[in-house]
Amino acid sequence: MRLSFSLPFIHFIAIFKPYKLDINHQTLKTSITFLMAYNPSSCSCFHHSFCLLFIIFSFPYFFLTKAQAAGHCRTSCGTIPISYPFGIDDGCGSPYYRHILVCSDSGFLELRTPSGRYQVRSISYSDPHMIVTDPFMWSCQDGHHFRATRPFSLDTSTHLTLSSQNDYLFFNCSEERVIVQPKPIFCERFPDRCDSTCDSASYLCRHLPGCATALGGSSCCSYLPKATESLRLMLKYCASYASIYWRTGVNAPDDQVPEYGIRVDFDIPVTTDCLQCQDMKKGGGSCGFDTQSQSFLCLCNQRSNVTTYCNGMLVFKPFHLHS
Bridge partners of 7?
19
d(CA 313, CA 320) in angstroms, rounded, equals: 21
Bridge partners of 2?
24
| Torsion over CA: 124, 129, 135, 140 (sign) | negative
Helix (H) or strand (E) holding 51: helix 48-58
* Start-to-end CA span in the chain (Å): 29
Q: Is the peptide bond before 85 cis (omega within 30 degrees of 0)?
A: yes
Res 92 pLDDT > 50: yes
pLDDT for 28-70, tens place per residue?
A: 443 444 444 445 444 444 445 544 444 444 444 433 333 344 4
Q: For helices 25-36 and 48-58, what crossing angle results, to 10°?
A: 150
User: What percent of the chain clears pLDDT 90, i.e. is strictly above it?
Assistant: 47
Q: Say if CB 182 and CB 199 are below 8 A apart.
A: yes
d(CA 170, CA 73) in angstroms, rounded, equals: 41
d(CA 195, CA 190) in angstroms, rounded, equals: 10
Strand 179-181 with 305-306, pairing: unpaired
Average pLDDT over residues 273-292: 88
Q: Say if CB 317 and CB 288 are below 8 A apart.
A: no
Res 25 pLDDT > 50: no
pTM of the model: 0.73
Mark 295-319 as b/e (b = at least 16 C-beta within 10 Å).
ebbbbbeebbbbbbbbeeebebeeb
Closest CA to 226 of 205, 247, 203, 196: 196
Which range (24-38, 62-76, 101-115) has the least confidence?
24-38
Res 140 pLDDT > 90: yes
d(CA 85, CA 317) in angstroms, rounded, equals: 22
pLDDT for 202-243, tens place per residue?
A: 999 999 999 988 998 899 999 988 888 889 999 999 999 999
What was the pLDDT predicted at 247?
87
- Looking at per-residue pLDDT, the higher value among 309 and 315 belongs to 309
Res 100 pLDDT > 50: yes
What was the pLDDT predicted at 254?
67
**What is the greatest pairwise CA distance in the chain?**
95
d(CA 183, CA 204) in angstroms, rounded, equals: 13
Q: Give residues with Cβ within 8 angstroms of 21, minimum separation 6.
A: 4, 5, 7, 31
What was the pLDDT predicted at 195?
86
Measured at the alpha carbon of residue 84, what is the angle toward residues 80 and 90, in degrees to the nearest 5? Answer: 90
